[in-house]
Amino acid sequence: MNISRFFILRPVATTLLMLALFFSGLLVWRLLPVSALPQVDYPIIQIYTFQPGANPDTVQRTITSPLEREMGKIAGLKQMSSSSSVGASVITLQFELSAELGIVEQEVQSALSTASSKLPNDLPTPPIYRKVNPADVPVITLAISSDTLPLTTVYDMVDTRVAQKLSQLSGVGMVSLAGGQRPAIRVQMNPSALAAFKLSTEDVRAAISAANANQPKGSFDGPYRSTMLDANDQMRSVADYENLILRWNNGAPIRLKDVAQVIEGSEDRYMAAWADSQSAILVNIQRQPNANVIEVADQIKKILPELQQNLPDNVHIRVLTDRTESIRSSIKDVQKELVFAVCLVVLVTFLFLRNFAATLIPSVAVPLSIIGTFVLMYFLGFSVNNLTLMALTIATGFVVDDAIVMLENIARHRESGESMLQAALKGSKEIGFTLISLTVSLIAVLIPLLFMGDVVGRLFHEFAVTLAAAIAISLLVSLTLTPMMCAYLLKDSAKHTEKTSRWNLDCVIGHYAKLLQWVLRHQTLTLMVMFATVVLAGLLYWFIPKGFFPVQDNGVIQVVTEAPDQISFQAMSERQHALANVILKDPAVASLSSFIGIDANNPKLSNGRILINLKPHAERDQAAEVIARLREDFAQVQGIKGWMQPVQELSIEDKISRTQYQLSLTAPKAQLLEQWTPKLVQALAQHAAFVEVTSEDSGQGLQAYIEVNRDAAARLGLSVEDISLALQNLFAQRQIATLYTQSNQYRIVLELDPKLTQGIEALNQTYIHNKQGQAILLSAVATIVQQHAPIILQHQSQFPAVGISFNLAKDVSLGEAIEAIEQVRQNLDLPPELDLQLQGAAAAFKNSQQHTLWLVIAAIVTMYIVLGMLYESFIHPITILSTLPSAAIGALLALFMVNQPLDMIALIGIILLIGLVKKNGIMMVDFALAAQRNQGLSAEQAIYQAALLRFRPILMTTLAALVGAIPLMLASGSGAELRQPLGIVMVGGLLLSQVLTLFTTPVVYLFFDGLKQDQDKSVVSNQAGTCE
């Protein structure tokens, strides 16, 4: 059966079919979304609860623990961690990747409803939750500032005018504001004035709450008309609050302004953000899942002039961070590499064929296969990203293989004097099964990639399917368009042959023939060498360092800042600002954003964040060099540290960390952590594999502990609740009422005059009022002790935990670091109740390493099964697969020579090599079997003839695949670190396998043929003995 016959005899139909495929691909290309990496939906949910003024222990006991107990009952929960800090509880729930986010959200909502009755009644807002995807970093960050207006006014404008507009754009997901300057009315009480008027803080709170009634009033509905009811029950300005009457005293009103200062301020005074060195409101804009990141960014930039027009002239908007710049640069670089690879493949084809028409025939398969793949990508919902483009780039060397093999076989018949049509019909029929074998076995090796678990499997799913689609389409082109073009374009065969001969290819084949004869005379030696390559491949795999994903330079550096735990907000602000100024002086820095304050990612006031935007690659050093330079500059700023790491497109961490890798240490009791954490950190820091080892422990802040004398308090008519409420009203930024407007809502915040809260002395002048209105000094009923206390409490799986962060020393792989961690654990002899676990990328790497060897074995077994089914043989697949050790050695040696670890990208390259290098064996074995079957040749004659006949297509296809990988190996620019390992592995593996397999495959073929003959003789002998 000749599959190609119909297409050869119907050239118009074949041409139109290919044109339809080509133009369909061009059409959908513009519709494909663009992103840095494939979309991976991490089933992570974070729950935030805020209670201003509450200390970490109170937050832990009254908020975090009740929520943890309910959340821990949710099915499919993989890991639960929490942090309780001053006024904030953050719980992170990480579910299995297979979990349905919609169902998970419903269960989380149900657990929140169940836990609500166990939470404090005075929470400003109920607990809120949101989905968290570590990979969904803001697409664009805007900085909005003013030289004249207060930031509270700017925040209000941004919240009501800018954020709303941005949220309405197609593809825009969450729009969040950073800077903490949400407007509020702050009532700052004077305790001396309160005592003079015999007013308590609760009297003030109750009066303000009662004066802010905003209830529905109803309406009249008469016989002819209806009338709505309304009243001035809502105070709307500072003046209204200032004139609020708290009490009448001897016929004279006591107004709020008599005992407090009322100002327009911010809801939380302990937050601040800067753009470069100017205070600003930061607008972080994320995209929706599967949205085109480039289109989203372009829409945002397009609407900025309109947004600017809606703001006063003294309010300025600018793009501070644009993450699409690195994505655009990376995609552009990969596209250039793709075009370069196509040109190299075509050039190699021409150098072999030395005929424009003959070169055109297989070259057409390259753009057709790649552009046709876009159609399948569109219908499968894939995006144009670094991995899919990398698959297409590496495919340029694959997709031309089938066309070259088809062309070469047809050309061989033309050289024998047959007509173009007869040569095309005969050659295509002869080679069709071989092409199907080549393609199916190559696609088969990609099947295990589709079943990889965890994040790695999700990432490489699009890579594997895209590559398989390109290879499958190339088979379609090679069985249809290629033989049809040969039937009508493959002319001047004699001249072509003569030119090829003059190019000394026949001379090369002659030398190969002599070497092959020598090898066939020394088969035992060859088999020993081959066995040695298997052992060497195993040793190389054992000793070569293992890694996860390459660290990329995407032009953004994240800095986590840390000051002493006892630092005040004002001092932290000054030191953060000083550090930012040092960063801005570096010539590689374009801009930065800076933030301090407690939020979902910043658990302590002594911590801050800085995001550094670097200049384009051509204008600066590598990110690692910039980090090293800044690390020295940071020493100039006293009282604050900065931990830096380049921001990665692939992020698996569920929180912002100081360094690239994390551990967690969990214990049933906090005392164990306090005892062993310093020892573990010290041991890791002293190990040569680690740098910048630090623990994210609870810290020790200053605490004024108020020990109430209950007997004395009761004697003076005070309860503990009276004291607690008074302290909350004075020091906790208590939100006591809400001001409703047409467009927004604003909090009324009650507090002590900030001038009186500079230290512990404020407690000595604090008055508590009993039920009779008597003012009693707090010091009369309580003793105030200054002590140290944790400023953050961390839990994992409801047990006390501490995070440990570390970076790798130079030339140390992640695999070596994990082995070092295990060694340190054993040397320290940690108690069994202490649980040391890898987190984030380190945990994902360890999980992937457990499946790496099985993944390679699965690829080999899958290929064996497919080849066995194609050849209906148990032996011939082994002959074909004997080419694999040489490819593994070449790949691992290439990595070793350039000092690259065997990471996940390199591993994918080795799996591709498994599918690629076996084509040499398939082409030889296929022709040898046909020669034995049709010409009656012996096994040695058949494999010798097949090796010589297939030498030219083997050399051409191998060189085509090799030059297709060269652009990846030589990649530069944004994201090049992700592409280089694949190119290095492909080039190294193909170079060595090309040399070795041309000689080992014939020997293995003869070895198994000899075994088969011996077995046949034994069977015949046994049958003869039975007959006698």
User: Domain-by-domain residue ranges, the chain?
Assistant: 183-214+238-266+701-789, 334-549+846-1019, 555-647
> Is residue 550 very low, low, confident or very high in pLDDT (cuts 50, 70, 90)?
confident
DSSP H/E element including 402: helix 386-415
> Is residue 110 very low, low, confident or very high in pLDDT (cuts 50, 70, 90)?
very high
Least confident of 111-120, 188-197, 620-629, 974-983: 974-983
Q: Would you state the pLDDT for residue 500?
A: 46
pLDDT in tens, 48-59: 998 888 888 999
Nearest one of 994, 1001, 925, 985 to 959, comparing CA atoms: 994
Res 336 pLDDT > 50: yes
The pLDDT > 70 percentage for the chain reads 96
For residue 291, the SS3 value is coil
**In contact, 463 and 388? CB cutoff 8 Å:** yes
This prediction has a pTM of 0.83
Q: Fold match between 334-549+846-1019 and 555-647?
A: no
Strand duo 183-189 + 745-752: pairing = parallel
> Is residue 1015 very low, low, confident or very high in pLDDT (cuts 50, 70, 90)?
low
Nearest one of 639, 612, 609 to 627, comparing CA atoms: 612
Q: Which fold has domain 555-647?
A: Alpha-Beta Plaits (3.30.70)
Q: What is the mean pLDDT of residues 264-293?
A: 88
Return the CATH number of the domain spanning residue range 334-549+846-1019: 1.20.1640.10
Residue 314: exposure state from Cβ atoms within 10 A (0-12, 13-18, ≥19) = exposed
pLDDT in tens, 144-168: 999 899 999 999 999 988 999 999 9
d(CA 121, CA 386): 50
**In contact, 889 and 537? CB cutoff 8 Å:** yes
Residue 983: exposure state from Cβ atoms within 10 A (0-12, 13-18, ≥19) = buried
Positive or negative torsion for Cα 624, 626, 627, 631? positive
Nearest one of 397, 468, 361 to 963, comparing CA atoms: 397
Res 498 pLDDT > 60: no
DSSP string, 968-991: HHT--STTHHHHHHHHHHHHHHHH
Q: Would you state the pLDDT for residue 1026?
A: 54
Nearest one of 913, 921, 915, 920 to 986, comparing CA atoms: 913
pLDDT in tens, 878-892: 888 887 888 888 899
Res 96 pLDDT > 90: no
* CA distance between the termini of the chain: 46
For residue 167, the SS3 value is helix
- How crowded is residue 513: how many other Cβ atoms within 10 Å of its Cβ? 14
User: What residues contact 1011, with CB distance under 8 A and at least 6 apart?
Assistant: 875
Q: Would you state the pLDDT for residue 493?
A: 47
Mean pLDDT of the residues in the chain? 86
> Is residue 465 very low, low, confident or very high in pLDDT (cuts 50, 70, 90)?
very high
Nearest one of 773, 883, 802, 877 to 246, comparing CA atoms: 773
pLDDT in tens, 733-753: 888 888 887 778 888 999 998
Give Dmax over CA atoms of the chain in angstroms.
137
**In contact, 284 and 178? CB cutoff 8 Å:** yes
Q: Would you state the pLDDT for residue 221?
A: 81
d(CA 273, CA 280): 6
d(CA 681, CA 1021): 73
Q: Which residue has the higher pLDDT, 291 or 574?
A: 574
DSSP H/E element including 221: strand 219-221
DSSP string, 846-872: HHHHHHHHHHHHHHHHHHHHHHHHHHT
pLDDT in tens, 696-717: 776 677 888 899 999 999 999 9
Q: Take residue 985 and report the two structure tokens written for it.
A: 């592995």
Nearest one of 786, 562, 790, 788 to 673, comparing CA atoms: 790
> Is residue 1018 very low, low, confident or very high in pLDDT (cuts 50, 70, 90)?
low
Return the CATH number of the domain spanning residue range 183-214+238-266+701-789: 3.30.2090.10
d(CA 444, CA 1007): 26
The pLDDT > 90 percentage for the chain reads 29
Q: Would you state the pLDDT for residue 1024?
A: 57
d(CA 448, CA 315): 56
